[in-house]
């Protein structure tokens, strides 16, 4: 299937149907991979239409996505037309609603078969008369999962006798099932679990299913529903979601009711803004199950379907534009409510466990400060302040044991930027690491800036809630970090901040794009800012056709195609353009543009234009916005080979509203502060504190009205 035509389905629960490499998107049912919590399963269920015990050839002629549902239209030569509405509900039901239309002149008798396969281990499949149930521990850490398959709209469905079988593929072909070769569709004698044979041959699988006879009168229409209801229930996890409103089962309407409506003269920007909100809808998840003590947002589809600390501060900055602050605040809380005993913030939060070795450096200070600007809340600050203080101490003790003020990176994963000369210049085997274990020590410029922003923000929080002693400690620490970064990590010859080798106290001489991160702070002086802008705008270094590559073009390891030492990597940081980096650099350019730097104003406008060009799909001639992990610096084409096209690790909305629309959120109000030539736009229902505002610009003039 052409990946440009991929679609994703979710309902705001813990399940997502967004296959990375869809093969059977036009087959009935959910035949491609799905995410059940953080576990990736190869399929959910298949459907087949039989007549005289043989499958009918159904041709899919159209696929649409309407209100968060995939609508597929099928034709059969004999005159049956079929419409399937496929969606995922808020309470984690994979639903397929099938509407039959017998367009022929003769009555027809058909049978719908719903089936799936599972492994022969674990609990036996439970055969329940008109349905069946599979209980398994899925993923790592394992999640106790109960999936109930049924056709619940009316009586008439019957459970099939389940069978063990060797071989077979994962294709949605009824001919491969054990029932195809039988005389009729066998049913179990009684409601009971199926019995395992002995021995079970390695590589065998279990086929389980149900069927429903359907009588179609000539010219008549008939509809039936098939679903797989996922429930998480077992040791450490016991969660059953509320049944949703029947008129809004996938939560589509309720979500978009709380999304500001944005329109502007630039359709590329309009497309990107819509897409960013769509991602929040698809990747959000509720609170209540296991360690998910608060609502949150997953990083992406596939193996990224869990909250990740590397991306969460950026996600908070996207979610802060929603009228309901629950999701943005929950993103922050879910990590600091699950902080480890030693003060370390987990790298990822899973439903049923944490990995103590899993850790990412992240811009918690920038994310929290941005969230508080739109949704200020002392209760949230008090809820996470003590945990954040413990995290700051953990950073000092474990990532800066000598008290230098700079922060260590100890493997090429924890900065979220693996496969880069940033690390191999310290340890030539740094790229061979396979786990989050200490392999080297590198004073990271990005990690140090993140620590500085967090400590500086916590100083303001402690001041606000009258924690004077804590505020004084934070203030003193921030001053040390600022002074040390400015003096020790600046490279005058290169014109950029650099990582530091702690063994010899020398800079690594690697010009990585993260060296521009200090621009978003008061760390650099005016002379350093001018030097950085020279380097950033150099076509021989960073200003490619679609900037900004993760490492300079002049670097010996630079490769725009994502190859590292001859092998194309999933997450290469040796020349690809990462939106997460661009958004940090755009924030830095904005910081200095606001202070009157004309070159920063020009570069911010141009970089946003090129970034939007990539994300909107225009660079590759597509009319669909994208959110790939990284892009080619010369063509602007995204990393389709990864299959991950739903990746939230950049705060794009902040950049668009600030630079393109020309307004800022300061001191609890919207301020007109264009740094370039702002576009005309309308933003209706924008939240600010406990108010909703309509903000628009027409003929250069900004207007603000309360709802």
Is 352 strand, coil or helix?
coil
Q: Phi first, then psi: what are they for 523, rounded to 5°?
A: -65, -55
Query: CA-to-CA distance for 292 and 272, rounded, in angstroms?
Result: 29
Reported as type and span, the H/E element at residue 317 is helix 312-319
Average pLDDT over residues 48-75: 95
pLDDT tens per residue across span 431-462: 998 888 899 999 999 999 999 999 999 999 99
- For the purposes of burial, counting CB atoms within 10 Å of the CB of 30, is it exposed (0-12), middle (13-18) or buried (19 or more)? buried
Query: CA-to-CA distance for 145 and 43, rounded, in angstroms?
Result: 15
169 vs 98, higher pLDDT: 98
The yes-or-no verdict on residue 2 having pLDDT over 70 is no
Average pLDDT over residues 50-63: 94
Query: CA-to-CA distance for 670 and 321, rounded, in angstroms?
Result: 13
What sign has the CA pseudo-torsion 208, 214, 220, 221? negative
668: tokens are 């609890």
Average pLDDT over residues 423-430: 95
Please enumerate in sequence order all residues whose Cβ is within 8 A of that of 567, keeping only pairs 6 or more positions apart, or say none: none
pLDDT at 4: 52
Query: CA-to-CA distance for 512 and 414, rounded, in angstroms?
Result: 16
Please enumerate in sequence order all residues whose Cβ is within 8 A of that of 474, keeping only pairs 6 or more positions apart, or say none: 392, 455, 456, 458, 459, 462
- On whether the CB atoms of residues 442 and 423 are closer than 8 A, the answer is yes
CATH of domain 3-239: 2.70.98.40
Please enumerate in sequence order all residues whose Cβ is within 8 A of that of 17, keeping only pairs 6 or more positions apart, or say none: 8, 9, 10, 30, 32, 34, 35, 44, 86, 88, 94
What sign has the CA pseudo-torsion 389, 391, 394, 399? negative
- Long-range pairs of 244-249 with CB within 8 A, sequence gap ≥ 24: 244/11, 244/89, 244/90, 244/91, 249/11, 249/87, 249/89, 249/90, 249/93, 249/95
The yes-or-no verdict on residue 169 having pLDDT over 90 is no
236 vs 601, higher pLDDT: 601
Query: CA-to-CA distance for 551 and 514, rounded, in angstroms?
Result: 9
Closest CA to 653 of 375, 276, 316: 276
pLDDT at 290: 95
Query: CA-to-CA distance for 337 and 316, rounded, in angstroms?
Result: 16
pLDDT at 1: 38
pLDDT tens per residue across span 509-560: 999 999 999 999 999 999 999 999 999 999 999 999 999 999 999 999 999 9
pLDDT tens per residue across span 679-707: 999 999 999 999 999 999 999 999 999 98
Query: CA-to-CA distance for 566 and 194, rounded, in angstroms?
Result: 51
pLDDT tens per residue across span 654-669: 999 999 999 999 999 9
Confidence of residue 324 (pLDDT cuts 50, 70, 90): very high
Query: CA-to-CA distance for 559 and 684, rounded, in angstroms?
Result: 43
CATH 1.50.10.10 boundaries in the chain = 258-706
- For the purposes of burial, counting CB atoms within 10 Å of the CB of 487, is it exposed (0-12), middle (13-18) or buried (19 or more)? exposed
The yes-or-no verdict on residue 331 having pLDDT over 60 is yes
Confidence of residue 190 (pLDDT cuts 50, 70, 90): confident
Q: In what order do the strands lie in the sheet with 701-706?
A: 261-264, 681-688, 691-698, 701-706
- On whether the CB atoms of residues 160 and 185 are closer than 8 A, the answer is yes
Q: Phi first, then psi: what are they for 688, rounded to 5°?
A: -155, 105
Q: What angle do CA 535, 541, 544 make, to 5 degrees?
A: 110
Q: Phi first, then psi: what are they for 253, rounded to 5°?
A: -65, -45
Average pLDDT over residues 404-412: 97
Confidence of residue 198 (pLDDT cuts 50, 70, 90): low
Is 638 strand, coil or helix?
strand
Average pLDDT over residues 99-125: 93
Query: CA-to-CA distance for 544 and 635, rounded, in angstroms?
Result: 10
Query: CA-to-CA distance for 205 and 121, rounded, in angstroms?
Result: 9
CB-side exposure of 266: number of CA atoms within 13 Å? Answer: 19
Is 362 strand, coil or helix?
coil
pLDDT at 643: 94
CATH of domain 258-706: 1.50.10.10
Query: CA-to-CA distance for 301 and 59, rounded, in angstroms?
Result: 28
What sign has the CA pseudo-torsion 207, 209, 214, 220? negative
The yes-or-no verdict on residue 193 having pLDDT over 90 is no
The yes-or-no verdict on residue 351 having pLDDT over 70 is yes
The yes-or-no verdict on residue 414 having pLDDT over 90 is yes
CATH 2.70.98.40 boundaries in the chain = 3-239
Confidence of residue 203 (pLDDT cuts 50, 70, 90): confident
189 vs 604, higher pLDDT: 604
The residues with which 147 forms a beta bridge, in sequence order, are 134, 230
């Amino acid at each position: 299937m052409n990946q440009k035509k991929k679609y994703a389905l979710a309902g705001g629960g813990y399940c997502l149907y967004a296959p990375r490499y869809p093969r059977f998107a036009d087959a009935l049912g959910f035949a491609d991979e799905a995410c059940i919590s953080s576990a990736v399963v190869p399929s959910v269920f298949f459907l087949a239409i039989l007549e005289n015990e043989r499958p009918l050839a159904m041709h899919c002629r159209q696929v649409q996505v309407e209100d968060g549902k995939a609508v597929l239209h099928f034709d059969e030569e004999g005159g049956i037309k079929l419409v399937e509405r496929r969606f995922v509900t808020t309470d984690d039901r994979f639903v397929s609603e099938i509407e039959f239309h017998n367009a022929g002149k003769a009555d027809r008798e058909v049978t719908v078969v719903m089936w799936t396969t599972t492994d022969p281990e674990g609990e036996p499949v439970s055969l329940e008369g008109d349905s069946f149930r599979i209980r398994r521990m899925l993923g790592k850490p394992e999640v106790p999962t109960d999936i109930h398959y049924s056709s619940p709209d009316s009586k008439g469905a019957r459970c099939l006798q389940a069978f063990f079988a060797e071989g077979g593929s994962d294709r949605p072909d009824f001919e491969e099932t054990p029932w195809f070769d039988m005389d009729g569709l066998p049913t179990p004698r009684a409601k009971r679990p199926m019995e395992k044979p002995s021995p079970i041959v390695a590589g065998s699988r279990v086929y389980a299913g149900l069927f429903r006879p359907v009588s179609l009168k000539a010219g008549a229409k008939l509809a039936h529903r098939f679903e797989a209801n996922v429930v998480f229930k077992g040791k450490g996890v016991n969660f059953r979601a509320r049944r949703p409103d029947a008129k809004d089962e996938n939560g589509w309407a309720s979500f978009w009711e709380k999304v500001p409506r944005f329109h502007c003269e630039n359709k590329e920007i309009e497309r990107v803004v819509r897409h960013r909100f769509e991602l929040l809808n698809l990747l959000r998840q509720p609170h209540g199950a296991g360690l998910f003590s608060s609502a949150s947002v997953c990083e992406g589809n596939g193996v990224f379907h869990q909250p990740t600390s590397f991306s969460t501060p950026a996600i908070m900055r996207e979610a802060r534009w929603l009228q309901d602050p629950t999701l943005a605040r929950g993103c922050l809380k879910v990590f600091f409510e699950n902080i480890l005993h030693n003060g370390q913030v987990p790298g990822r939060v899973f439903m049923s466990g944490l990995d103590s070795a899993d850790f990412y450096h992240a811009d918690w200070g920038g994310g929290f400060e941005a969230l508080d600007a739109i949704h200020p809340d002392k209760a949230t600050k008090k809820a996470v302040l003590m945990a954040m203080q413990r995290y700051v101490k953990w950073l000092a003790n474990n990532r800066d044991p000598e008290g230098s003020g700079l922060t260590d990176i100890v493997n090429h994963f924890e900065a979220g930027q693996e496969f880069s000369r940033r690390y191999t210049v310290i340890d030539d085997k740094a790229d061979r690491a396979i786990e989050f274990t200490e392999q080297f020590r590198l004073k990271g410029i990005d990690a140090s800036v993140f620590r500085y922003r967090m400590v500086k923000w916590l100083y303001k929080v402690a001041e606000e809630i009258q924690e004077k002693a804590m505020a004084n400690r934070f203030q003193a620490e921030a001053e040390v970090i600022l002074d040390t970064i400015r003096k020790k990590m600046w490279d005058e010859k290169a014109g950029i901040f650099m990582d530091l080798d702690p063994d010899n106290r020398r800079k690594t001489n690697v010009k990585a794009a993260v060296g521009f991160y200090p621009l978003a702070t008061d760390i650099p002086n005016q002379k350093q800012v001018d030097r950085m802008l020279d380097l950033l705008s150099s076509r021989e270094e960073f200003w490619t056709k679609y900037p900004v590559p993760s490492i300079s073009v002049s670097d010996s390891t630079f490769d725009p195609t994502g190859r590292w030492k001859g092998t194309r990597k999933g997450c290469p940081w040796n020349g690809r353009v990462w939106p997460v980096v661009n958004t940090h650099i755009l924030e830095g350019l904005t910081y200095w543009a606001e202070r009157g730097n004309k070159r920063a104003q020009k570069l911010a406008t141009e970089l946003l234009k090129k970034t939007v060009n990539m994300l909107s799909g225009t660079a590759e001639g597509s009319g669909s916005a994208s959110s790939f992990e990284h892009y080619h610096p010369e063509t602007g084409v995204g990393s389709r080979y990864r299959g991950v096209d739903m990746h939230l690790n950049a705060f794009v909305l902040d950049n668009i509203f600030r630079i393109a629309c020309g307004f800022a959120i300061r001191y609890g109000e919207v301020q007109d502060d264009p740094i370039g030539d702002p576009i005309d736009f309308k933003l209706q229902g924008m939240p600010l504190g406990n108010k909703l505002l309509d903000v628009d610009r027409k003929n250069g003039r900004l207007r603000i009205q309360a709802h």
